[in-house]
């Protein structure tokens, strides 16, 4: 019986370490996306970790906002490893991976397409312009495998980070110049204050997200 208890403790410890590692990878993924998009040509500015207000008084955190002459790119970073399963109609997606002992672990996470849709609606309210060109990007890390990700519309894009720059370049070429330098500066000015959030507010936001989604 003792060996079974030890095995359970090892598995639990591994899961805790994995969760902690996901947080570190999350920050790393956002940084790498930022560095990737700096290579995009044209007039642009970027904002990281933007806490936008919701109608219910809470906030929603946008990982990265790229304001480019071709439009606004709202990016949700998921720097996960393992296999990723999900579709735009499912409330939760699944991350599946194997540990060094050969066991398979699965975690659910809230549909990132829906998550980013919430971000976009909040952004449009802050900007006061529901017609501005906004593109939804869900960017997974290069260490994962996207499995059967069913995409039924062109309203969003689910890709790995290694393909991000080429896809964004293609979108920018297709839409050309939609925002003037003045509009880019104006939108940046409206959104930037929402990046200046106290550590207390960030902790409160993280707690609400954990309570609601277990993330």
pLDDT tens for each residue of the chain, 215 residues long = 555 544 445 544 544 454 545 457 667 889 999 999 999 999 999 999 999 999 998 999 999 999 999 999 999 999 998 999 999 899 999 999 887 777 888 999 999 999 999 999 999 999 998 888 899 999 999 999 998 787 767 789 999 999 999 999 999 999 999 999 999 999 999 999 999 988 887 788 777 777 776 65
Q: Is-above-0.95 flag for pTM?
A: no
Scanning the chain, the segments in alpha helix (DSSP H) are 2-37, 112-127, 164-175, 181-191, 199-213
End-to-end CA distance of the chain: 33
152/156 Cα distance (integer angstroms) = 9
């Amino acid at each position: 019986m003792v060996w079974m208890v030890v095995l359970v403790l090892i598995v639990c410890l591994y899961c805790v370490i994995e969760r902690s590692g996901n947080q570190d990878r999350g920050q790393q993924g956002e940084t790498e996306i930022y560095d990737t998009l700096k290579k995009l040509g044209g007039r642009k500015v970027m904002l990281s970790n933007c806490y936008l207000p919701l109608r219910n008084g809470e906030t929603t955190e946008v990982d990265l906002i790229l304001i480019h002459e071709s439009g606004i790119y709202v990016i949700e970073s998921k720097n996960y490893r393992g296999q990723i399963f999900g579709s735009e109609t499912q409330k939760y997606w699944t991350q599946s991976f194997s540990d060094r002992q050969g066991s398979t672990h699965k975690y659910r996470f809230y549909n990132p397409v829906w998550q980013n849709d919430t971000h976009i609606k909040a952004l449009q309210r802050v900007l006061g312009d529901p017609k501005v060109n906004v593109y939804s990007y869900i960017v997974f890390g290069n260490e994962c495998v996207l499995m059967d990700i069913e995409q039924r519309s062109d309203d969003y894009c689910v890709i790995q980070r290694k393909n991000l720059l080429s896809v964004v370049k293609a979108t920018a070429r297709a839409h050309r110049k939609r925002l003037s330098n003045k509009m880019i500066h104006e939108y940046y000015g409206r959104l930037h204050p929402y990046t200046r959030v106290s550590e207390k507010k960030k902790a409160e936001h993280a707690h609400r997200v954990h309570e609601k989604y277990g993330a």
